[in-house]
Amino acid sequence: MVGPAAKREAVAHLRNRFEMSERRACAVIAADRAMIHYRSIRPDDRALRARLRSLAQERRRFGYRRLFILLRREGETSGITRLYRLYREEGLADALCASNALAVRKRRARRKAIGTRAPILVAARPNARGSLDFVHDQLDSGRRFRVLNIVDDVTRECLAAVPDTSISGLRGARELTALVAQRGKPGMIVSDNGTELTSNAVLKWAQDTKITWHYIAPGKPMQNGYSESLAYAGLRLNGRMRDELLNETLFTSMAQARAVIAAWVADYNIVRPHSALGYQTPAAHAAKLKAMGPVSPPVPGSEPGPIADTAPNNVTLPQALLSAG
């Protein structure tokens, strides 16, 4: 009985049950009389709560931060602290409550790779590096299908998501050819060592197009991260697709799967805020990078020069110090 609401109820109970005065009832439970008379002046938030629950129902795997971004786009002026309070009061954060179907359940943590990593330096421009990976699911009939995801690692755009019951290396090469005709050649492509991605058709395609194809070490999907905070974008997209779409949808046919996946990809690129991009959408981030233009080379003389001349060949540090006095 520590909250103001509980104390107000206790005072009302004492006055009704034992016919105490308000002053004596407050003294019994150590409540301030000003608190008993206080009435909330918060604005009516029923519309905001209803919209928050509606968005949580629509975006079942979104937490309060992404829901806050979506509400801000709609013109909501409330701060993230207030939204988080409403988020908790509506029970959207209580994943342990079995009766709450809207709560976001946390995924089990994966084992992290250990050891040294060799970063692949990539220019901050669209089409600098792409990733390919597969994600699997099945129809309600039990028939399995897979989705070939092609991602721009810099802008995080999903360039293509190809669902089919069978995707060979030749089919992957055809999809890449169509993508290159539309966007131009990427600087590099990264993938795992799957049989389709190491087939003769893919190897011949990479050789004919003169595109560098980097295969990560088996069992080390994080090896191809090109900075400490950015890892395999294809795996990130697969995780999001699995978490937000495949686990939430019952597919009845391949035609339905293609339509639903295409709609999700459009939403992922244009609407869904991406935390690694400062909660921008991948399309907005790509447009921003394109507006900046190509990265210009450093201006000669703009970098400070060395404070001393370099030592000649075969001259050790002690000799240089003795020569300098």
CATH number for 129-292 (one of 3.30.1280.10, 3.40.50.10490, 3.30.420.10, 3.40.50.150): it is 3.30.420.10
How far is the C-alpha of 263 from the C-alpha of 270, rounded, in Å? 11
Per DSSP, the residues of 149-163 read EEEETTT--EEEEEE
Predicted TM-score (pTM) of this structure: 0.70
How far is the C-alpha of 317 from the C-alpha of 311, rounded, in Å? 8
How does pLDDT run along the chain (325 residues), one tens digit per residue? 578 888 999 999 999 999 899 999 999 998 999 998 898 888 889 999 999 999 999 888 889 999 999 999 999 999 999 999 999 999 888 654 445 656 666 666 554 433 334 455 567 788 899 999 999 999 999 999 999 999 999 999 999 999 999 999 999 999 999 999 999 999 999 988 888 998 999 999 999 999 999 888 765 555 544 322 334 566 678 888 999 999 999 999 999 999 999 999 999 999 999 988 899 999 999 999 988 876 544 444 444 444 445 555 554 545 544 454 4
How far is the C-alpha of 271 from the C-alpha of 264, rounded, in Å? 10
CB count in 10 Å sphere of residue 138: 14
- Please answer whether residues 80 and 65 qualify as being in contact, where contact means their C-beta atoms are separated by less than 8 angstroms: yes
pLDDT for the residue numbered 228: 28
What's the number of CA atoms in the CB half-sphere (13 Å) around residue 61? 15
Convert the pLDDT of each residue in 68-87 to its tens digit: 999 999 999 999 999 999 99
CA angle at 278 for the pair 291 and 52, rounded to the nearest 5°: 120
List the domain boundaries for the chain: 4-37, 46-102, 129-292
DSSP state of 120: -
pLDDT for the residue numbered 224: 44
